[in-house]
A and B are shown apart, each in its own frame.
Chain A
């Protein structure tokens, strides 16, 4: 039933099944609470209802604050009490050309009109950031539906089309400057759907909705994707079938020479375009995997086809065998060491898609791409599954990291014992206090690390920035390099000092460097710094979640004593005066 919420949408079904879907999702007990203020220049009822469904589907349980339409700026600027008490995690500002007061005034230049509107927005953004330290999601503007200047509206220095273009550009520039500001690109969404379908003038007249219901579905979906991304829940890995998905024909029957791929045929061109698109995804950090019913060597040979853009090496995991795909999908997730919920499965065969949906429910995402290559790229693109709100250099390098991990695993099998292996990796780590250049990576790690994470504390860029200025904090990051390459910034620890005690409120490590003893090095550095600051007791907390069992014994293993339990979490302590801090023989600490 929940596939109605997968792109391409069935709006009529969504409208009819909203209540039932909501009840179904609310049965899930592990939903994560989140508070969202939706501030609308126009009516927002339907936007909120659909946004709620999309968020419930991705594992969130949102509560909403909303204001009367048109009050979106006032409730912020005049400190609406209900909004202040609500303390939103995220604020979504929903606007439209209809509410852009100056848009059609004839005697003001486009630039001036855009600046007036931008100025209002800037004040609201600043106020929101000061009051709530929250992420802000802001609509940009679609083109006006009617233009009294007609085609000349774009060229005229007072034209409404020109004004919209200028304003959108200014908003984008602001979003590049302000890390908490994220834009919903209504300009693109409306262009893709076409303004005639995007707008519904009757609905505007009768209910003050600035959009058609069809558009509301697409818009709320995009808002939900941005929220997922802000909270580290975007998809990470694209799992691809081969025959009739990445090339035309069955390679086992027609051989490498017989598959349809390349400029010679129109269908072959479509597969080539799909390759190019997937390569672009890979280059911006999406991990690729193959899951195909084929002989391994035959499957692999397809990528030796002279027109194949994708190469065998582009895939971090390559499963070509006759096992059920669900089994292979489990293995792919294990091999790459990411959760099943990070996977997107692409297969032209509706039976395989159905089996995977049945096996994994809504955990693994299975876009309804159909069986016509002409649509694959567009559907995957519009499903917008790998949403990012900023690109950190780590994203771009991610594939390389996982690839190097596989080399390490092969290398490991040549050693008699693990210690010998660790030594041979020739690991070096840089451990230092948080730096500004790493802010986005640090925030990203706090928001998406689930396994090696003692407190699962999520932190926004602003919170981290703020905590860096506080003197009673000890915060260290670790970068790790070994003979196979740079693993990047992969681990964090931070504590708050109170008198002669320090409490570790965050300690996490990316799964790509599990079992390398980096946690020892990072903790030792932290303890040394604590000792330097005359700290006597170090306290740590383990807050159990469904995913962090792996660290349930970590404090004990590191020599801490269990001193009590509080609200479901365990409290551990170490007496620094009696504890001599060892060195980790496996990792050299230096500036990298």
Chain B
């Protein structure tokens, strides 16, 4: 798992230029990042890494970093 792949997934789905998304980015930083986009990001990460998040985990994620950590936890 690489952090850059996760960031690329965010940039693809949010449809923003490369370099816009960093580990600190949250949904309030990017207009396109609404609840629909969040679901898309979650499903794309699950598909990409062959994992399934827990419902309670998803409710607490805010920054891109949170998503990265979540993927790391599930990959183990």
Chain A residues within 8 Å of B55, by CB = 202, 205-206
Chain B residues within 8 Å of A205, by CB = 55
Query: Does the CB pair B12–A213 fall under 8 Å?
Result: no
A12 contacts chain B at the CB level, 8 A cutoff: yes
Query: Does the CB pair A17–B39 fall under 8 Å?
Result: no
Complex CA gap A20/B35 in Å reads 20
Query: Does the CB pair A16–B15 fall under 8 Å?
Result: no
Q: Which residue among B8, B9, B43, B52 has the maximum number of chain A CB atoms within 10 Å of its CB? A: B43
Query: Does the CB pair B13–A15 fall under 8 Å?
Result: yes
A438 contacts chain B at the CB level, 8 A cutoff: no
Which residues of chain B from 16 to 69 have any CB-CB distance to chain A below 8 Å in the complex?
A: 35-36, 39-40, 43-44, 47-48, 52-55, 58
Q: Known contacts A207-B39, A213-B43: does B13 contact A16 (CB below 8 Å)? A: yes
Closest to A10 in B: B47
Chain A residues within 8 Å of B13, by CB = 15-16, 18-19
Complex CA gap A333/B66 in Å reads 55
Complex CA gap A20/B43 in Å reads 18
Q: Known contacts A15-B44, A15-B47, A213-B47: does B39 contact A203 (CB below 8 Å)? A: yes
Q: Known contacts A15-B47, A19-B15: does B58 contact A206 (CB below 8 Å)? A: yes
The number of residues on chain A lying at the interface, defined by a beta carbon within 8 Å of a beta carbon of chain B, is 18
What DSSP secondary structure best describes chain A's contact surface?
helix
Complex CA gap A12/B40 in Å reads 9
The number of residues on chain B lying at the interface, defined by a beta carbon within 8 Å of a beta carbon of chain A, is 18
Query: Does the CB pair A16–B12 fall under 8 Å?
Result: yes
Which residues of chain A from 161 to 220 have any CB-CB distance to chain B below 8 Å in the complex?
A: 202-203, 205-207, 209, 213-214
Complex CA gap A12/B41 in Å reads 10
Closest to A16 in B: B12
Complex CA gap A206/B46 in Å reads 15
Complex CA gap A17/B9 in Å reads 9
CB B36 to nearest CB in A, in angstroms, measures 5
CB A590 to nearest CB in B, in angstroms, measures 63
CB B58 to nearest CB in A, in angstroms, measures 7
CB B42 to nearest CB in A, in angstroms, measures 9
CB A51 to nearest CB in B, in angstroms, measures 15
Complex CA gap A314/B42 in Å reads 49
CB A56 to nearest CB in B, in angstroms, measures 16
Chain B residues within 8 Å of A207, by CB = 35, 39
A45 contacts chain B at the CB level, 8 A cutoff: yes
Which residues of chain A from 205 to 237 have any CB-CB distance to chain B below 8 Å in the complex?
A: 205-207, 209, 213-214
A11 contacts chain B at the CB level, 8 A cutoff: yes
CB A39 to nearest CB in B, in angstroms, measures 19
Query: Does the CB pair A16–B44 fall under 8 Å?
Result: yes
Query: Does the CB pair B12–A11 fall under 8 Å?
Result: no
Enumerate the 10 nearest inter-chain pairs by beta-carbon distance, A residue then B residue, closest first: A12-B47, A16-B12, A19-B15, A15-B44, A213-B43, A202-B55, A12-B48, A45-B36, A207-B39, A11-B47
Chain A to chain B contacts (Cβ below 8 Å), 9 pairs: A15-B13, A16-B13, A19-B12, A20-B12, A46-B36, A202-B53, A202-B54, A202-B58, A207-B35
